[in-house]
Amino acid sequence: MITVIPALIILALVAVWATVKIVPQGFQWTVERFGRYTRTLQPGLSLVVPFMDHVDLTTDTI
């Protein structure tokens, strides 16, 4: 039981890290779900579905 709790905490941190994306100012990122475009992330804090969404970091708006 002692080793299960740290493993669950690490798993939860990885899930949060994969869910939250911070888009820098001057950039727009595109989100693809299963290879198809779904939306564009504007600068600021955004949430994505981990392991289903792929964020493309190439769109520059400067």
Task: Give every residue of the chain whose pLDDT is below 50, as ranges.
Answer: none
Distance CA(29)–CA(23), nearest Å, equals: 7
Question: For residue 15, what is the DSSP state?
Answer: H
The ranges assigned to domains in the chain are: 4-56
Residue 27 CB-half CA count within 13 A: 15
This model's pTM is above 0.85: no
Question: For residue 34, what is the DSSP state?
Answer: T
Cα dihedral 22, 23, 24, 30, rounded to 10, equals: 160
- Looking at residue 10, its pLDDT comes to 94
- Looking at residue 62, its pLDDT comes to 62
